[in-house]
Every structure is written in structure tokens, then in C-alpha cells.
Amino acid sequence: MMRSALLWLGVALCGAAPVASQRSEDAVARAVRAGALRAHVEFLASDALEGRGTGARGGDLAAKYIAAQFARLGLEPAGGDGTWFQRIPLRGRRFTSSLAAVGGPALEAGSDFVGYLPGHDDSASVTGDVVFVGYGIMAPEAGWDDYHDTDVRGKIVLALAGTPGDRDSSFFRRPARTDYGGRQYKVDEAARHGAAAAFVIYRPPYLATWSAIADAWLGEQIRLESGWTVGGPVQVAGWINEPAAGRLIRQSGDSLDRLAAAALRPGFAAVPLQLRLVASALARTRTVPTVNVLARLPGRRPAEAVLLGAHYDHLGIGRPVNGDSIYNGALDNASGTAGMLAVAEAFVTSGVRPRRSVLFAAFGAEEAGLLGSAAFIARPMVPLAQLSAMLNLDGLNLLADTRDIASLGADLSSLDGLFRRAAAAEGYAITPPDSPIMQEAQAQDFFNRSDQASFVHAGVPVAYLSFGDRIGAAPAGSGKAALDDYMAHRYHQPSDDLHQPLDFEAGTHSVRVFARMLLAAADAPARAQWKKDSPYQRPN
Amino acid sequence: MKPANRVCRHCAVAFALLALPAAGHSQAAPVIRVRPAAIDADIRFLSDDSLEGRGTGSRGGRVAAEFIAAQFRRMGLEPAGDSGTYFQAVELLGRTPSPSISVNGTPLRYPEDYVVAPVSDDSLTRVSGEVVFAGYGIVSPARKWDDYKGADVRGKVVLVLPGDPDSTRFDRLTGRPWVAVREKADVAARRGAAALLVVQSEGRGGVPWPAVQAFTRERISLAAPASAVAFWGWLSDSAAGALATQAGQDLARLRDAAARRDFRPVPLDLRLEAEVRTAVRRIPTANVVAKLPGRGPRAGEAIAVGAHYDHLGIGPPVNGDSIYNGAEDNASGVACMLAGADAVAGSGVRPARTIVFAAFAAEELGLQGSEWLVRHPPAGLRLVGAFAMDVLNLYGKTRDIGTVGVKQSSLGELVRRAAAAQKMTINEDPDDLRRGRFFRSDNYAFARENIPAMRIVNGVDFVGRPPDWGREQREKYWNERYHRPNDELAPWMNMDGITQQARVLARAVLAAAEAPTAPAWAATSDFRLPDPAAR
């Protein structure tokens, strides 16, 4: 005990020589084994795990498997109370809703609209005048204000899905916040303006199809317990499909096309409509048991930490496709979980002892809305100010080895340099920001769609490992083509399973970049810092 | 561990200490690393309630199999199951019979006069043949006993007595369990018999009628091997007596004759016609099999290291708990096998023989998975020796390591040396043997096919405990937890003992795989000389 403490004190006094750190990064990278990656993917994505549904048997098995692997490695339990598990306080709700113009026919739930209760009420009904609020965005940094002091208190607002940037790329470009396009933001903004109900109009192009949205909202909605109490004055919310919204607006004597065109113009102001709606919903509520699985490799200065995360949950058992009802989630995200475990093994077997502690986190309930990471942020194992960086693996590149690699979010902070050095050490080029795959990542809003988003909003610098753009000697865009094929044919489908071609060597190669970066971040003299021009900063 | 076969009766027999050949040349001692935390993690996962007792054919059993496969993959061991996977499908069938049997045209009453266990995979089996009385139905070259004496029983129905004629001649403890009906059926099958009937013989080494009645329900066993009787069964004492009389014989006299070494089979001049309709159900399950390939000319020989991963699943609740977790039986054995595999794979030693690591299915249903592996060894490999682990030491550090079958084969000496390298002694406990433990676990499936095999079990000499403590723990386990829902990990348990066992296992396996000669049965072992008809 004493001897190693003195040894490490000696190392600390000498300072981390670049050669020594390079050597230990090489050792960690070498110790990341394709066999381990494959073993964990094959277990987690096997049919026996039943798609690792949140609150389901398969999800529970996955969590226990991950804990067993952490225990095998001799890591410390970091879930609290000496266990590997941090409870995610989840509440699931199913809604029955109705929507109609006052005196008009009822809309069809599912095909025309879906409604829900954002608060904790078991039932609510709102009758009110309707205001069309464009995209429903208040973005002072972009000089954008769709509300323009229009009084929507006690009224029902209709907002278009997405942002004006979806149709005119001169608006809302990075590094602007990109959650303006989502339903949650729009309902929250309506609440801040005192609306009693808020519906988002589904109108392509949008990230999801109407049937995906309708399926999701007709099924159980799972959120943090605290997530059901943030509706403020908004009692009923939901989505309206474009044709139904068009019919309602025509009754007011206006047209959706005209209003939508107006909403694209800077200076747009909300438009009260000659329309009254009745919206109501009922909820059935239950507690959903699930956990994050957390382990710690103690650092020499354990007050600070870095974190490598991956969500282990997927969609469970669902609607059958070609006779297969198990949504195995091999890439999404057995692969990232396996990558995280393989890196944890590499840290242990290579014998590195980093300056900061390293937290290894398997997050639950990501598919339900990044809820495991949100629960972690609400009750972090280390104070968030002491958490230097969060690295996230979600959808490891098991498709094919690329010549280049990208890390979403690293460029916003001092992690950028660490990422570039780690990528170079593994022989990767950095994917150009204007490459097809990076544009796709932007269009698909990948940065806000996995657990790093929870950390970003808490001010913790992050990096999210992305696919590269060029496979082997193939031309630019070949990486995007492979990703497009996955997104079109396997993403969130039962076919994201072990029958698709999986290149574990490619996945290992890419995850070695993050293994190096994780060690570099753990050993760096100073905590990672956001760049000055980043839209995100650590809280004061 | 599977329950004691009620057909078997055991009594004490002394047997000679064996002089074993010194095994092989010396080499640099391999580095054996066994991590207690890994063993604990594996047992904890495999015996968790969410695995639902790892019942054969159940989803909990499937999860266990996937878990074990993932650990093999993680260690870098090669798949040795079907089509490049770690899984070897075990063709396990549930058979429910509806038989009708007549003798010389007179129907026997079912199930008052007889019951049958179908062996054939067909849903309809017909047998028509003469009945031959073959004494106890035993052929043991090592004991110089042959009830058949070359009699032609091809296509005939063989009638035998249960048990053996003389407990001083047949080693019922660790010897070959000739008393087992399964062994008698194999002996008859090897001689081309169509069927085997055993006289119930209640009170004379046979079985009580309620045990026989169980044969009217579904029996679970493997798909039939190429040479097998179509069925075997039990004949009630009164029906057997009547048949003997009908043939002009006397059952008591036949019994007396069968006790003599010079007994010869007696044709009864009766024609038996059987029609057995069987409802056959497939039970999906698999062994999980990996290998570390050997190097050089002996790579085609394989040492098997196995532990069964199945347990009893979900069953009748005891104190409100219906999950039969099987932490000791046999999550512990699987964890020890995996720890041994990890240690061997990580030792850097690549021995001459291939090492096959196997997690067996369906042991609790009668050693089914291990028998399947013996019948279907991984492609290109001949199994030449086997170590099995079943119920290991979660109680603490010991000075001795338990064995079952240590004197039966040259494997015993390898285990003794491996234990000595860990400063431990070996201890083969007569109590264990009296419980028939040699043939109540997977090592017997190998031995039955004349492959030298033994088991590593718990010592009794615990460090820091009173002398009787170890035996007390064992009795407590058998009496209070064995095959009950409370066979679970308890806070007072620890991994010190099983870690010692895994180290000994790894050393013994490496030695067996590297030894110049393949494992061999001891000179006096009943398994050394196979039935001449087995070739």
C-alpha cells in the first residue's frame, strides 16, 4: 500500500511525461480486445436477452450481466450503497385522449392526433381559443421570437415540428442549440407563456415518421418520476398529423400552408385563429423498475473523474417484423455497452492507474428519452463540477473499418485536442465537418439523441464516437452509405441483430480511440473545458 | 447433481490401493491465475433469481448457456459446438409410452404386470421375439463374470434380475454400476437384443412398485443411439413368476442359478409380441462447448473439462420461494470450470492435447448432456479423459481437496500432484462413495464409454475450523439445501475454497493434456476392460 503510494507520489512529482503517457495509452489501446467486444455483443444481443427492454426481464438480465463483468474485473461498485446499481426512478403512463373543434367531429386518435398529460394529473380537459405560434421558438441568440408578446395564457397553441432551418439552412446552424425542433422544447416554451394546451403539428421533413410518433404515444410513455410534473400550466399536449391540422385550420378560414410559409420568415409573430378546440386525456400510471450500472476505477486523485458511458437498454419485445418480435439492438447499443466493457477490461489488464478516477456507466432507459443519464445527472456519483468529461458510445461502428473517424461534441471543448491525438495514434484521419456523414449526423441531430445530451446540458464537456466517412479505399460517402443502409433497414427494427454482418475488428479499432482519449482525459493536468464560443458552458 | 437412482443399492467394499505410473516429464511450472472475484461474479449471475433456476428447455437455461458462451468467447477459446458456434444441440426427447404386450398370444395387463421405457425415437415400435432369461445380465471382464456366455440373443427379448448376485464380487461403490438398468440395457443392446425386461424383485434388490409406476408417465432421455434396445421395462414379480411357470421353469430356481458364475442363459420358449406407441416431445437444449487446440501429433486427443449448468428451474414453492437457484448445484461447478478455462487460456501454455471445455445440459434429468458429448465429440477429436465438477466448496479454505474416482484412473495421480503443488492433500471420502457419487454426475457418462474420468469435490479439512466442521457443512447441504429453493448464495459463503479447487483443476488439466501417454484406467478398475461386445 505504502510503497505504491510513494511510487505514485513520485510519478506525480515528476509530472506526466508525454512519453510515459503515450506508452500507457498504447498499452491500454492494445489491451482492448475484439474477442471481448464480440463476446459481450453476442450475449447482450442474443434472443435470450429479449431486446433488453426497460423494466423488462431482458433489461434486468443485461444489467446483472454488466455488473458481473465489472465484478470480474475487480472494479469498485459505484451505484451507491456498495452496489453496482443506481435506481432510475421511472414512471410509465398510457394515455387515452380526444381532440375536436368545439361543435365539430372528433379527430381520430392515432391517425389524426395523439394526446398526453405532461403533468402528474390522471385526467385533464381543456377548452380554449387556438393560437398558431409558428415553430414555437424563442431564441434570443438567433434573434428569433415566434411568440412576439402574443397572449396565449389559458389558450391552446399549435406549433410546427422542427425548426425553420429544416427548410432554409440559413437559420439555426451549429453551434446553435438544436433541441428547438423537438416536441419537449415546444411544450415547455408554451408552458412558459402560460398556454393551457400545446399541440405540435407533424409536417415532413421531420426526423421521424407519423406512424412512429403515433405508435410511441399510443403505447406506454416512460419518464423520470420528476419528468411528469413539469407541465406547468400546460395540462394537455400532443401531436397533430398534418392533414388533420390542415382541416382544423381551414375551419378557421385560414390555411396551414400559408401559415407555415409565414412561419419561415424572420419577424413572424403568432397568429390567433378563429377556432376553439376541446382537448382531453386520461392516464394509467405505473412504476417501471430499472437501473444504471456503475463502476469505478479509482484514480490517484479520486476527487475528480472522467466517465465512459453507453446505454444498455433497447426496445424489448415489440411489433413483429417478418415473424421476429425481438428487437435485439445489436448495434443500438449492445455494441457500445460491449465497447465500454472492453475498455474497462483494458484499463484493468494494462495496469494503468490514472490521475482521475474513471467511471464506467451502463445507462438504462436511454431509448425512453435519455432517462438513465438524466437520473445520473440528478444524483451524480461525483459532483458534476468534478466530472471532467463524459465520453459516450452509442452505435459502435461494426459496419466496416473507415479510414477516418469523428467525435461529435469534442470540437466544442478542450477534448478536441485529445481526440485528434488519439485518432492519429490509431491511424485515423479526422472526418471533415462538411463530409456527407457529418452532414447526416447534423441532419439527424445525433448529438442530441444520446446520453451525452444529458451531460451537455449539465455543463460537462462530452465526446460521442461517430462513424467515419470513407470505408477502406472506397470514396467519400461510403461510410454514410453504410450508415444510411443501417438506418433505413435495421435501426430500431428486429433486424438490428446478430444476423447482420458485424466487423468486430473495425469496432475494436474505433473504440481504441476512445480508450486512449479516456486515459488522456483522466491524466490531463486540468479538467476539460468548453471552448469560449461553445453554446454550452459549465454552470457558475 | 442428479438424485440417487433408487434402483441402486450400495454397500462397502474395500479395494486395493493402486500403484500409478509416474506421469511424464517436468516442465516450467505454468502460471495459474484464478480470480475469486470472477468466480463470485459467475455464481452470482448464474444463480440469480432472474435465471429462474436454469431449467432444461426453459428461458433461464437459455440465458445461462448464452452467458457461458460469452465467457468462452471472451477468453479467446474456439467454438467446438455445431456449425462454428459454442452450442451443441442436445437431442433430448420426452417419451410417454402406451404399450401393449402379449406372451404366446395372451395379453399382459398394463401397468399392473409391466411398464416400459421406450428407447426408440419412433412413435410406434413393434417387437416380436423369443424370451431368454439372462441371469443378472452382467458382463464384466474385470470381475470375470459373463451372464451371456456367448448366447445368441439377437432380436430376442432378454429377461434379467435387478442388482447383482454377490456384493463381494461387484464393487458397487466406485466400480461400474452393473446394477443400473441402463448398464444392463446397454449390455443387451450390444448383443443385438430387441428389448430388455427386468424382474421387479421387490425386497430382493429390486424396486418398490410406486417407483415402477413412474414409468407410465413421460421419461426424458436422449434420441436413441444406433445400437439400442427398442425399449426396456419392468416386469412384476407375479407376472414374471407366471411366465416362468408357463415356460416350465421356476423363477426361484432361475434366481438361484443366476447367482453362480457358471450360469448360462435359459431360453424360455415363449414368444413375446410388443406394440409400443409413444408420444414423443422434443425438448430444446444445448451443451456449450469450447476448445483450446492442442499442438502436434496428439492434438486429435482431447481432455474434457465439464460441469453441468442446468438445474431444476421453477418448482413447488418452499417457504414462498419457487426458484430452485442451484448456486452450489451447479453454478459453482460452472464457475470453477470457467475459472479453470480462464487460467489455462491465460497460462500461455499450449499443451499437446486439445482441451475441451464443456457446460453440460440436462444433467439433473440423467447426465443427458454429457452423454451426448461422449456420443458426439467435437469434430476431429477423440475424448481420452475427463474431469467433471459438481457442487464445489463455497465454505472456505481447506487443506485437502475432495475427489471422486481418484483410484480409478491415472487422472487421480495428476490431481494429487496438482493438489500438492498447492500444498494440499487429496481426500476421497468413503461417505461420498457410499452415496454412489461416482455415477451420479457427468464423469460417469464418460466412464460408461470407457473414457477415464473423475470428479473434483469438496475437502473436509477446513482451515480455522474444528475437525468435524467440513462434514457437518456437507450434511447440512445434503439435508437442508440440496435440490431446494434455498440452494442460493449466502452472505457467509466465500470463494476461497473454490478458488483452490479451480487452481488444482487447471494444473491437473494441463498435466493431463501434456502427459506423454493418454489417461488410462487403473489395472483393477471395472472400466478398464470394456464389454467384449463393445468393439
Q: pLDDT tens digits, residue range A274-298?
A: 999 999 999 999 999 999 999 999 9
For range A199-217, the mean pLDDT: 91
CA distance A499 to chain B (A): 13
Percent of chain B with pLDDT over 90: 79
Indicate which of B40, B66, B342, B499 best probes the interface with A, i.e. most A CBs within 10 Å of its own CB: B66
Residue A167 is placed in which grid cell?
A: 427548410
Of A35, A43, A74, the CB nearest to B66: A43
Full-model pTM: 0.88
Beta-ladder partners of B100: B275
Indicate which of A38, A61, A85 best probes the interface with B, i.e. most B CBs within 10 Å of its own CB: A61
Residue pairs spanning A and B at CB distance below 8 A: 59
* Residue B111, preceding peptide bond in cis (omega within 30° of 0): yes
Residue B69 is placed in which grid cell?
A: 458462451
Q: Is B62 on the interface with A (CB under 8 A)?
A: yes
The torsion angles phi and psi of B498, rounded to 5 degrees, stand at: -65, -30
Contact B73 A42 (CB under 8 A): yes
Q: Coil, strand or helix: which one is A445?
A: coil
The torsion angles phi and psi of A6, rounded to 5 degrees, stand at: -65, -40
Provide the angle, in degrees to the nearest 10, between the axes of the packed helices A436-444 and A478-489: 30
Residue B465 is placed in which grid cell?
A: 475450523
User: Which chain A residue has its CA at the smallest distance from B78's CA?
Assistant: A35
- Say whether pLDDT at A177 is over 60: no
Q: Is B209 on the interface with A (CB under 8 A)?
A: no
Contact A39 B40 (CB under 8 A): no
Contact B66 A48 (CB under 8 A): yes
- Say whether pLDDT at A486 is over 60: yes
For range A211-219, the mean pLDDT: 91
B178 band by pLDDT with thresholds 50, 70 and 90:
confident
- Say whether pLDDT at A441 is over 50: yes
For range B53-57, the mean pLDDT: 97
- Say whether pLDDT at B22 is over 70: no
Q: What is the DSSP string of A371-436?
A: HHHHHHHHS-SS-GGGEEEEEE-SS---S--BSEEEEETGGGBTHHHHHHHHHHHTTPEEPPTTSH
**Contacts of residue A35 in chain B, CB cutoff 8 Å?**
73-76
Geometric angle at alpha carbon B38, from A390 and B384, rounded to 5°: 135
Of B62, B75, B76, the CB nearest to A48: B62
Q: What is the DSSP letter of B327?
A: I
Provide the angle, in degrees to the nearest 10, between the axes of the packed helices A504-523 and A415-425: 140
Q: pLDDT tens digits, residue range A380-405?
A: 989 999 999 999 999 999 999 999 99
Q: What is the mean pLDDT of chain A?
A: 92
pLDDT of residue B7: 37
Q: Coil, strand or helix: which one is A284?
A: strand
Q: pLDDT tens digits, residue range A86-99?
A: 999 999 999 999 99
**Contacts of residue A38 in chain B, CB cutoff 8 Å?**
73
Q: Which of B506, B490, B505 is nearest to B396 (CA)?
A: B490
Q: pLDDT tens digits, residue range B257-306?
A: 999 999 999 999 999 999 999 999 999 999 999 999 999 999 999 999 99
Provide the phi-psi class of A160: left if phi over 0, else alpha when psi is between -120 and 50, else beta. beta
User: Which chain A residue has its CA at the smallest distance from B44's CA?
Assistant: A68
Q: Determine the Cα–Cα distance for residues A472 and A394; give it in Å rounded to an integer.
A: 22
Q: Is B49 on the interface with A (CB under 8 A)?
A: no
Q: Determine the Cα–Cα distance for residues B51 and B65; give it in Å rounded to an integer.
A: 11
* Pairwise pLDDT comparison (B10 vs A40), residue with the higher score: A40
Burial of A241 (0-12, 13-18, 19+ CB in 10 A): buried
Lowest mean pLDDT among A168-177, A477-486, B137-146, B279-288: A168-177
User: Which chain B residue has its CA at the smallest distance from A63's CA?
Assistant: B45
For range B467-490, the mean pLDDT: 95
What is the amino acid identity at position A25?
A: E
pLDDT of residue B47: 98
Helices and strands: H and E segment counts in chain A: 15, 21
CA distance B499 to chain A (A): 14
Q: What is the mean pLDDT of chain B?
A: 91
- Say whether pLDDT at A6 is over 60: no
Q: Which of B135, B178, B146, B143 is nearest to B436 (CA)?
A: B178
User: Which chain B residue has its CA at the smallest distance from A49's CA?
Assistant: B63
For range B388-398, the mean pLDDT: 97
Q: Determine the Cα–Cα distance for residues A388 and A526; give it in Å rounded to an integer.
A: 8
How many angstroms from the chain centroid is the CA of residue A382?
Answer: 21
Residue B154 is placed in which grid cell?
A: 439377437
B218 band by pLDDT with thresholds 50, 70 and 90:
very high
* Pairwise pLDDT comparison (A165 vs A72), residue with the higher score: A72
pLDDT of residue B364: 93
- Say whether pLDDT at B8 is over 80: no
Q: Is B63 on the interface with A (CB under 8 A)?
A: yes
For range A30-56, the mean pLDDT: 97
The torsion angles phi and psi of A298, rounded to 5 degrees, stand at: -65, 135
- Say whether pLDDT at B143 is over 70: yes
Residues 6+ apart with CB under 8 A from B270: B103, B104, B130, B131, B243, B246, B247
Q: Is B376 on the interface with A (CB under 8 A)?
A: no
- Say whether pLDDT at B227 is over 90: no
Q: Determine the Cα–Cα distance for residues A404 and A466; give it in Å rounded to an integer.
A: 10
Q: pLDDT tens digits, residue range A164-173?
A: 888 776 666 5
For range B56-70, the mean pLDDT: 97
- Say whether pLDDT at B429 is over 60: yes
Lowest mean pLDDT among A18-22, A373-377, A460-464, B8-12: B8-12
**Contacts of residue B50 in chain A, CB cutoff 8 Å?**
57, 60-61, 64
Residue B480 is placed in which grid cell?
A: 437442508
Q: Determine the Cα–Cα distance for residues B160 and B195; give it in Å rounded to an integer.
A: 11
- Say whether pLDDT at B11 is over 70: no
For range A309-326, the mean pLDDT: 96
pLDDT of residue B6: 41
Residues 6+ apart with CB under 8 A from A434: none
**Residues in B 67-106 with any Cβ partner in A closer than 8 A:** 67, 69-76
Q: Determine the Cα–Cα distance for residues A528 and A520; give it in Å rounded to an integer.
A: 11
Of B37, B66, B71, the CB nearest to A46: B66
Q: Determine the Cα–Cα distance for residues B386 and B302; give it in Å rounded to an integer.
A: 9
pLDDT of residue A178: 66
Q: pLDDT tens digits, residue range B239-268?
A: 999 999 999 999 999 999 999 999 999 999
Distances (CA, A) of B38 to A69, A84, B223, B502: 8, 15, 36, 11
Q: Determine the Cα–Cα distance for residues A36 and B74; give it in Å rounded to an integer.
A: 4
- Say whether pLDDT at B471 is over 70: yes
Q: Determine the Cα–Cα distance for residues A470 and A472; give it in Å rounded to an integer.
A: 6
pLDDT of residue A176: 52
Of A35, A38, A64, the CB nearest to B50: A64
Asked if residues B141 and B525 have their Cβ atoms less than 8 Å apart, the reply is no
Geometric angle at alpha carbon B140, from B135 and B146, rounded to 5°: 40
Tally the residues of chain A. 540
